[in-house]
Structure 1
Amino acid sequence: MVDDQLALGMIGVSAGNGHPYSFSSIVNGYDDAGLAESEWDVIYDYVREKHPSEIGLDGVQVTHAWTQDDAETERLCAAADIPEQPDEFTDMIDDVDAVVIARDDYETHARFARPFLEAGVPTFVDKPLSLDTDELAWMRPHLEAGRLMSCSGMRYARELDTPRANIDDYGEMTLVRGTVIKDWDRYSVHMLDAIFNVIDADPVAVRAADAPHGSVAIETDGPLVQIDTLGDAAMAFDVDFYGTEKTTRHPIRDNFRAFRRLLSEFITQVETGEPAIHPDETLKTMRVAIAGQRAIETGDHVKLDSIEI
Structure 2
Amino acid sequence: MIDVGLVGLDTSHAEAFASTLSDFGDMELNGIWDGGSVREQAYVEDFCDTYNTCRYEDLDQMVDRVDAAMVLTVNWETHRPIAIRFLEEGVPTLVDKPLAGNRKDVDAIAEATEHAPLFGGSAVPFHPDFDDIPRGEDDRTMFAAGYNDFFYYRVHLTDTLRLLADADWADVTPTAKPGTTVDIRFTNETHATLRFDGNSVGGSFSILDVGDRTRTIEIPAKKEALREMYGPYLETFRNVVYGERDTTDRILDSAGLLLAIETALAKGQTVRPNDDAIDDLHVDGVAFLDQYDPYY
Q: Which of 64, 69, 75 is the equivalent residue of 1:105?
A: 75
What letter is aligned with 2:228? Answer: R
Q: Deviations over 1:180-221 (max 9, x none)?
A: 223442222222222232235542211223458532211335
Q: Which of 20, 23, 26 is the equivalent residue of 1:26?
A: 20
- Offset of residue 74 of structure 1: 2.1
Q: Which of 2, 5, 8 is the equivalent residue of 1:6?
A: 2
Aligned-pair identity in percent equals 23
Quick one: structure 1 residues 223 and 95, their matched pair in 2 at CA, closer, same or farther if it must change by over 3 Å? closer
Structure 1 residues without counterparts, runs of 5 or longer: 29-55
Q: Deviations over 1:240-297 (max 9, x none)?
A: 1134x6322201243223221221222222223x6521x3322221221111101111
Would you say 1:199 and 2:149 are equivalent positions?
A: no
Asked if structure 2 preserves the Cα contact closer than 8 Å seen for 1:104 and 1:186, the reply is no
Match of 1:187 in 2: 153
Between Structure 1 and Structure 2, which shows a larger proportion of helix residues? 1
Q: Deviations over 1:14-60 (max 9, x none)?
A: 3xx311111001013xxxxxxxxxxxxxxxxxxxxxxxxxxx11111
d(CA) in 1 for partners of 2:113, 2:171: 24
Quick one: structure 1 residues 58 and 305, their matched pair in 2 at CA, closer, same or farther if it must change by over 3 Å? same
Would you say 1:281 and 2:275 are equivalent positions?
A: no
d(CA) in 1 for partners of 2:52, 2:59: 14
- Offset of residue 82 of structure 1: 3.2
- Which structure 2 residues correspond to residues 119-130 of structure 1 after superposition, within 5 A? 119-130=89-100
Match of 2:192 in 1: 225
Aligned residues: 268
- Which structure 2 residues correspond to residues 129-168 of structure 1 after superposition, within 5 A? 129-164=99-134
d(CA) in 2 for partners of 1:131, 1:116: 20
What letter is aligned with 1:298? Answer: K
Match of 1:237 in 2: 205
Q: Secondary structure at the match of 1:198?
A: helix
Q: CA RMSD in A?
A: 2.7
Asked if structure 2 preserves the Cα contact closer than 8 Å seen for 1:19 and 1:103, the reply is no
Structure 2 residues without counterparts, runs of 5 or longer: 280-296
- Scaled by the length of structure 1, what TM-score is found? 0.76
d(CA) in 2 for partners of 1:185, 1:301: 18
- Scaled by the length of structure 2, what TM-score is found? 0.79
